[in-house]
Amino acid sequence: MRLKVNEEMAECAVLGGAFLGGGGGGDLNLGLEHAKMALKLGDVEIVDLDSIPSDGYIVTASMVGAPAAKERYVLPSHMVKSFELLMEVDSLKVEGIISSENGGYSTINGWIASSILGIPMVDAPADGRAHPTGVMGAMGLHKVKDYTSIQSAVGGNKEEGRYIEIVIKGSLEKASRMVREAAVQAGGLVAVARNPVGIDYVRKNGAVGAITQAIEVGMLMKKYKGNPYKLSEKLIEYFGEGNIVDRGKIREVSLETKGGFDLGKILVDGEKDSYEIAFWNEFMTLENLEGKRFGTFPDLISMIELESSLPLTSAEAKKGMEVILLLIPKSRIILGEGVKDLELLKEAGRVIGKSLLGGETSC
């Protein structure tokens, strides 16, 4: 498969990615802007794994940081620079780029570098939904003995003294922590190229077909824009399982940007009950105020705003917004190996103060 992206396809990829972001995955409007920019700068091709030479490397493109950070500053040139820095290491032969995840911005991670450098995008992102940590977006590489992670990160405003570019080699966990710290020093966000691997590893551990899924979801979102209830029903029909938990109004949002992450909770007063959504960049748990669990990451917990018919990220949620709470179980999403790891889920649970293991899903 070789698919040349046009504007309509790009819009659908971003819209569908925003839903698959599950409260994270970046800014949809910036995603649309940069997707169109990529198409103006050159061709963006989406290919399958069989189109990549067997001896070439696939590299993950990502944006790392806290979406709500006020001093975040990443330019398209930073995205290209991160790839140039990475390819200089050991003269890497990069034949394909994958996004770290799906999201309103994340789905198009790598598109600008792809259009300028002439490297195709591969329909096998590291994860088919958005997730908070770089290790979760590494397709289980942290469990591969002796794997040396190579990561480059670029971002920050030079005029504010925030600009930074780094290249680091080391264990995946330590390299990911260094990149997260680079994001903090850069004002909250960096463009990252990371973790060269062969096609066989991506085929086994990546979210193969998840960009196609984002485009298909985006087609539904375009078709039913202005009718959030019908859209919610059609999304459940598309995934084959899910639940409209309730309709309600956001009562309160508490958000703290800490260590390069957005952390907090959202309270929603619904027609049937009141709810708490705990988030760590992405929505991690959906419970009523008595503690009944409806959804647990990596289930896809979504808030669709009634006025716009668009999914909200944790950084966008504001008091008074009217929303539909929608849940799609993890079994219906194309997931990478990184978000299936129990130790990583335990870590995320410790951060938000709620267990993510054995959580009930009410669909």
pLDDT digits (tens, 9 = 90+) for 7-16: 999 999 999 9
- Does residue 358 carry a pLDDT above 80? no
Could you read off the pLDDT of 63-86 as tens digits, one per residue? 998 777 889 999 999 999 999 999
Alpha helices in 263-355 (DSSP H): 342-352
pLDDT (average), residues 41-67: 93
- Residue 334 in contact with residue 320, Cβ under 8 Å? no
Residue 165 has pLDDT above 50, yes or no: yes
Q: Residue 162's pLDDT is what? A: 96
- Nearest 5°: phi and psi at 178? -65, -40
Residue 1 is predicted with a pLDDT of 86
Mean pLDDT of all residues belonging to the chain: 95
Kindly list the distances between the CA atom of residue 83 and the CA atoms of 57, 80, 180, 193, 201, in Å, as whole numbers in the listed order: 13, 5, 17, 6, 20
Q: What is the b/e burial string over 7-17, where b = at least 16 CB atoms within 10 angstroms of the residue's CB?
A: eebbbbbbbbb
At 114, the amino acid letter reads S
| C-alpha–C-alpha distance, residues 52 and 58, integer Å | 9
User: Residue 174 pLDDT > 80, yes or no?
Assistant: yes
Percent of the chain with pLDDT over 70: 98
| Res 303 pLDDT > 80 | yes
DSSP string covering 168-208? EEE-HHHHHHHHHHHHHHTTSEEEEEEEEE-HHHHHHHS-T
**Domains of the chain with bracketed CATH:** 2-210 (3.40.1610.10), 227-352 (2.40.390.10)
Residue of 175, 161, 140, 123 lying closest to 17 (CA atoms):
123
How far, in Å, CA of 56 to CA of 48, rounded?
14
Phi and psi (nearest 5°) for 19? Answer: -65, -45
* pLDDT value of residue 363: 44
Mean pLDDT to the nearest integer, 49-70: 91
Check: CB of residue 132 under 8 Å from CB of residue 21.
no
Residue 161 buriedness (CB in 10 A; 0-12 / 13-18 / 19+): exposed
- Which pLDDT does position 17 carry in this prediction? 98
Question: Which H or E element spans position 121?
Answer: strand 121-122
Name the burial class of residue 353, with classes exposed (0-12), middle (13-18) and buried (19+) by CB atoms within 10 angstroms of its CB: exposed
> What average pLDDT does the segment 155-179 reach?
96
**Mean predicted confidence (pLDDT) in 4-8:** 97
Please compute the mean of the pLDDT values over residues 284-308 and round it to a whole number. Answer: 97
Q: Which of 207, 204, 137, 205 is nearest to 173 (CA)?
A: 137
For residue 357, give the nearest of 305, 309, 285 by alpha carbon.
285
Q: What spatial distance separates the first Cα and last Cα of the chain, rounded to whole Å?
A: 35
Residue 298, preceding bond cis, omega within 30 degrees?
yes
pLDDT at position 108: 97
- Span 325-343, pLDDT tens digits: 999 999 999 999 999 999 9
359 — pLDDT class (breaks 50, 70, 90):
low
Q: What is the pLDDT of residue 260?
A: 82
Asked if pLDDT for residue 302 goes beyond 70, the answer is yes
pLDDT at 289 over 70: yes
**For 194-240, how does the pLDDT look when each residue is reduced to its tens digit (9 = 90+)?**
999 999 999 999 999 999 999 999 999 999 999 999 999 999 999 99
Q: Which two tokens stand for residue 171?
A: 């264990």
**What pLDDT is attached to residue 259?**
81
pLDDT tens digits, 89-145: 988 889 999 999 999 999 999 999 999 999 999 999 999 999 999 999 999 999 999
User: Averaged over 147-174, what is the pLDDT?
Assistant: 96
pLDDT beyond 60 at 160: yes
Instruction: Give pLDDT tens digits for 142-158.
Output: 999 999 999 999 999 99
Q: What is the pTM of this model?
A: 0.93
**Contact indicator for 194, 86 with CB cutoff of 8 Å:** yes
The strands making up 293-296's β-sheet, listed across from edge to edge, are: 293-296, 282-288, 274-280, 261-270, 243-258, 322-328, 300-305
The distance between the two most distant Cα atoms of the chain, rounded to a whole number of Å, is 59
SS3 assignment, position 214 = helix
Distance of CA 296 to the CA centre of its chain: 17
